[in-house]
Structure 1
Amino acid sequence: MKVYLAGALFNEAEVERRLKEGKLLREAFSDIELFNPIEQPFNEDKQTLPTPETIYTNDKNAVFNSDVCIFDVTNEDAGVMVELGLAIAYGKKIIAVNSDIRLKSANKYEIPSYSMNHFVLGAILKHGVLVYSFDEVIKELKKY
């Protein structure tokens, strides 16, 4: 099974998270072929980064060649949103995770404390599933 893993990766915590998710996926699935952008060779040396066009082409091709795409939409990172749009256009199976702890309790207050963009949420629900933790991502992926 070919899996694409997308999430913000522009600070130390995000990089650490993406690496941990890659490790968790490989531990849970021995036969997985994982494309995790942060693990790509060009991300090892920040002084020799490829052009934006090369990054787009490589990631676009990886989405196209994947069976399932996992998206961390917690922070609605612009790059992740483009990858999500590509996955929808390519008809991929989608698992989106929003781990913001306010999401499940937002409507318990007179003024909700958190909300997702409803266009993005609608796209996810129309073409895949939304979960609330990476453990749930793994459970969903086992269904495939």
Structure 2
Amino acid sequence: MHIYFANGLFSQADFRFNAKLAAAIRATYPQLTIYLPQENAAINDKQAYADSKMIAHADTEEVLKSDLMIAVLDGPVIDAGVASEIGVAYAKEIPILGLYTDSRQQGADNQQKLTALQTIAENQFHYLNLYTTGLIKLNGAIYSNETDLIKAIATYQ
């Protein structure tokens, strides 16, 4: 089984998180292959040069040969590249497992937080684009922690 791992890869934090989560998945499922774009030096060595067509071609090819996509949804907004990759996977009916760990999703039963929604600029919750999350939910699921995400991979083997 081939997995495409979609997340931003431009900050040290993202780069390290991606490597850590991919290593945990590889340790749990050593028989799987995971394409982690940051490991593709041909297009993601930022000291070198790769134009937009090279990047689009290389990553799209990997999405299309995948049996499953893992998409990290954390950040101020879903990374633009990740959203594009989700669209390609959805169009090709490749199952997608989203990971959304933002702590602002907590407290949905807190009445003060719910009441604050009625006050301008007091939203206590984080927003994710509903179209993009809908594509994931139509062909997969979204998890709030790494443990549940890693367990879910087994159902797609």
Q: Give TM class, smaller chain.
A: over 0.9
**Aligned 8 A contact 1:43 1:49 in 2:** yes
1:1-144 → structure 2 map (5 Å cutoff): 1-42=1-42, 45-75=45-75, 76-106=78-108, 108=110, 109=113, 110=115, 111=117, 112-113=123-124, 114-144=126-156
Which consecutive aligned stretches of 4+ in structure 1 deviate over 4 angstroms post-superposition?
none
Deviation at 1:105, TM superposition (A): 2.3
Percent sequence identity is 26
Deviation at 1:134, TM superposition (A): 1.6
User: Amino acid of the residue matched to residue 102 of structure 2?
Assistant: D
Give the distance between the partners of 1:43 and 1:26, measured in 2 at CA.
22
- SS where residue 66 of structure 1 aligns? coil
**Aligned 8 A contact 1:106 1:115 in 2:** no
CA deviation digits over 1:74-101, x for unaligned, max 9? 1200000000000001110110111101
Q: Which residue does 2:120 correspond to in 1?
A: none
Question: Normalised by the size of structure 1, how large is the TM-score?
Answer: 0.92
- SS where residue 9 of structure 2 aligns? coil
CA deviation digits over 1:26-78, x for unaligned, max 9? 10111011100011122674221311111111100100000000000112000
Give the distance between the partners of 1:81 and 1:107, measured in 2 at CA.
29
**Aligned 8 A contact 1:96 1:129 in 2:** yes
Question: Normalised by the size of structure 2, how large is the TM-score?
Answer: 0.85
Larger radius of gyration: 2
Give the distance between the partners of 1:45 and 1:116, measured in 2 at CA.
29
User: Number of paired residues?
Assistant: 144
Structure 2: which 5+ runs fail to align? Answer: 118-122
Structure 1: which 5+ runs fail to align? Answer: none
Give the distance between the partners of 1:17 and 1:78, measured in 2 at CA.
18
Measured on the aligned residues, the alpha-carbon RMSD in Å equals: 1.5
